[in-house]
Structure 1
Amino acid sequence: MNNEINEYIKKHKKKKVRKKLVLFFVFFFSITILILLKAPFFNIADVKVENNKIIDSKEIISRSELLGKNIFYINQKDVSYKITANPYIEKVNLKRVFPSGIIINVVERKAVYFVKGSDGIYVLNSELKILEKRASIDGLNLTELTGVSPTSTDVGTYFNSDEKIKRIADNIGNLLEENKSDVKFNLVNLENTTSLNILVGDVKLLLGNDENLEIKLNNCIKILKESSIGITKGYIDVSFDGDPVIKKE
C-alpha cells in the first residue's frame, strides 16, 4: 500500500515539474518573441507608393508618418485617415514587406469640373467633392460647371450636397472621363435637372433629363464629328425620342 502511495506522489511531483517547465518555456519564448518584434530590425525604413498619378509620393509618405515605426504595430485605419486627409486620395491600402518595408497603394480622385467663385476657382471630382481651390486652371483639362449653388466651399467637402445633383453630375462626369473622341466638352449646366445642357465650343447640346445620357452624348458626338453636317455654332437637341434636331446659326 505504501509503495502505491509513494508511486502516486512521485508521479504527481513529476507532473508539477513538467507543468512548471512548460510554463517557464512558454513565458521565456513569449518574452523572446516580444523583444524580437520590438527590435530596430523591424522598424520601417523603406516606404513605396503605388498607383499615384496626381499626388507626389513624398507627400503621401510624409502624411503616413510610417518611417521609423515598428512594422508589426502600425494601425492601417489611422494611417489611412492621415493620408485621405488630402481630398485627392480616396482609398489607401497598406502591404507589409518584411522586415522593414511598406507599400502604400492609393486610389486617387480625378479632377473633372471647375467652378468659378468670387474668391477663386474650385476644382471638383465627378461627385462634386472639392479637391482644391486655386487661382486658375492653367495646366488642367477640366470642364466648367454652372447652375449649381454651393452648400459648402471648404476643401474636402461637397460643393453641393443635394443627392440628385451629385448623382447627375457623377453620371455626366464619368461619361466625360470615358470620352475617347477629340470633342472637348467646355461647360455643363445643371441649373435645371429636366433640361440639362452642355456646351461644346459654340454648340449647345440639349439633353433634357438625365435618362439615357450615354446614348444622347454619343449621338451628339457623332453629329459633331460628321463633316457633312459641319455644325460649329447652334444647337443639337437630343432631349426627346426620335431623330435629333440640329440648328445651325
Structure 2
Amino acid sequence: MKYKRILLKLSGEALLGKKKFGIDPDMLQLYAGEIKKVAEKGVQVAVVIGGGNIFRGEDAVEAGIDRAQGDYMGMLSTLMNAIALQSALEKEGLFTRLMSAIKIEEVCEPFIRRRAVRHLEKGRLVIFGAGLGSPYFTTDSAASLRAIEIGADVVLKGTRVDGIYNADPEKDPMAIRYNNISFDEVYKKGLNVMDMTAFTLCKENELPIIVFDMNKPDNLLRLVSGEEVGTLVTM
C-alpha cells in the first residue's frame, strides 16, 4: 500500500443517498464495505464525518438560533453519523473506536491524541466525532487537524465527484478535471477544495490532499494502493 495511515473525510450529505433527510442504509453499507477493503490490507484508517444530512451550524442563523449554539447542534449531528458508521463497520467485523471532541463518555471516548495513535497502531479503526469541539470550525478543519495530529500520510476527501474541476462539473459539462495541482494553484484559481482554514493547515504542514469519488466501488482501495484516482493536491 502506498499510504500506511490515512484520514478519510466524508460529508454528512453523502449519507443522504436517495433520502432528503437522515441516513440512507445503502450508503452506510457501501462506505463500510469500501473502508473494510482498505483496512484488511493493513492500512491504518481514521475517519471524520460531517453532519450536514441532519443539521448544519450555518443554517442556525436562518432558524433564529445563535451561530455558536447552532454549531454545537451540528457537532451532535456528526456524532449521530459517527455512531451509525461505527455500527456499520463493526457489522463488517472491524474493531473501531469512536472519539469525540465533546465529552459524552457514556457513548464514546474523549479525544486524546496519544490514545488515538495507539488505537491505530493496534489495528483499530478510529472515528473522530464532534468536529473540533469549538464553534466556527468546520469538519474539514477537524479532518486536517486530526490528520496532522495522528501523523497521517494523506487526507482523502471522499465526495460524489471524481476530483477537482475548474468549474462545477454538475452544472458545466465543459468543466476540466485536474489530475494534479499545487496548493498555490488552488489559491490562485480560487478553487473550492476545503474551507480556507482546513486547506491552509494542510499546506503549512505539507500534508497532501486527494479529492475523489467515494461512491464508485473500489476507488478507495485503488487510491490507497497507489493508482491515480481523483485529484492530488501537493506542494
Same topology, TM > 0.5: no
Considering fraction of residues, name the structure with more helix: 2
Higher-Rg structure is 1
Q: Relative contact order (alpha carbons < 8 A, sep ≥ 6): 1 or 2 greater?
A: 2
TM-score if structure 2 supplies the norm length?
A: 0.24
Structure that is richer in strand per residue: 1
TM-score by length of 1: 0.22
